[in-house]
Structure 1
Amino acid sequence: MNTFAHWFIRIPFAATFIFHGAGKFANLSGSAEMMGMPVFLLALVAIAEVLAGVGAIVGGVASFPKKDLVTRLAGLAAAPVMLGAIFMFHFPRFSFVATEEFPMGGFEFQLLLLGVAINFILTGNKESADK
């Protein structure tokens, strides 16, 4: 098995979550107002997003002693965020393209991220599980 292949999933996953979480922190009250959410709840979402992204990277580092646990926790931080995004903002439209009726777009991208998060939860760091 190629020991570097997992980075092709981890890096885009991490970048997506870190970018979105940090973006929420940059304008927390404005983002909360736009999404119709309390600031406190959006802050928790932003924290979960950043931690999921950082955890995806740290969990992939071969020398990190608890990489399996960190990978699972990264998935556990991301999964509820993606479920919330799908059911609060993107459902029932599947297509990612934003329209007048669905200005936030559909949920195909969020479903893919949810799938990766669930994979992280269920498999952890496969490489460490094989040892």
Structure 2
Amino acid sequence: MHLLKNLGKYSNYGTLILRLIVGIVFIVHGYLKLIDLGGTAGFFGNLGIPAAGFFAILVALVEFLGGIGYVAGLFTRYAGLLTGIDMLVALILVHARNGFLIASGGYEGGGYEFVLTLLGISIFFLFHGAGKYSLDEKFFEKSKR
């Protein structure tokens, strides 16, 4: 118990680790959409999303660039806002109808547990920022303290 009691003083490391992990996840998902924009646009079109090609590019860029922002810890609150909106829309339009568990709907359109987790993490970074070990801290946040 003593070890756990003292972990609070290392919370900036936890924020860094979470930021790196979620950044990698968003980079990979965005990259996969970018290299198959036609498939992404087709999927969006099948969902009835108007201007599916435009939104395929937008979502791919939000995820890819947002992921880079998380990894670098740069413009992290903006990444949190944009990836949060992305995940909320994905939850509502794609995943909610398939139940909670991701395994319940297969790869494309499984349940909403994964996007809900990413939404929660995005909201965390929107409100909390990148933390001490980040470019945001170096260039923007430090001057506010």
Q: CA deviation at 1:35?
A: 3.0
Residue 82 of structure 1 corresponds to 87
Q: Deviations over 1:87-108 (max 9, x none)?
A: 01001311111337x9511001
- Contact 1:21–1:49 (8 Å) recurs in 2: yes
Residue 57 of structure 1 corresponds to 71
Residue 6 of structure 2 corresponds to none
- The answer to whether residue 25 in structure 2 is matched with residue 16 in structure 1 is yes
Amino acid at match of 1:109: F
Match of residue 43, structure 1, among 52, 57, 60: 57
- Contact 1:51–1:77 (8 Å) recurs in 2: no
RMSD in angstroms over aligned alpha carbons? 2.1
Instruction: Within 5 Å, give how 1:1-131 maps onto structure 2.
Output: 1-2=9-10, 3-36=12-45, 37=49, 38-59=52-73, 67=74, 70-92=75-97, 93-99=99-105, 104-127=109-132, 128=137, 131=145
- Contact 2:91–2:115 (8 Å) recurs in 1: yes
Give the % identical residues.
33
Q: Which has the higher helix share?
A: 2
Query: How many pairs does the alignment contain?
Result: 121
What SS does the aligned partner of 1:125 have?
Answer: coil
Distance change in 2, residues 1:124/1:104 (3 Å): same
| TM-score after normalising by structure 1 | 0.81
Q: CA deviation at 1:20?
A: 0.7
- Asked which structure has the greater CA Rg, the reply is 2
Hey, what's the Cα distance between the residues in 1 that align with 2:103 and 2:16? 27
Amino acid at match of 1:57: V
Q: CA deviation at 1:125?
A: 2.9
5+ long unaligned stretches in structure 1: 60-66
Distance change in 2, residues 1:115/1:30 (3 Å): same
5+ long unaligned stretches in structure 2: 1-8
Q: CA deviation at 1:4?
A: 2.3
Amino acid at match of 1:95: L
What SS does the aligned partner of 1:14 have?
Answer: helix
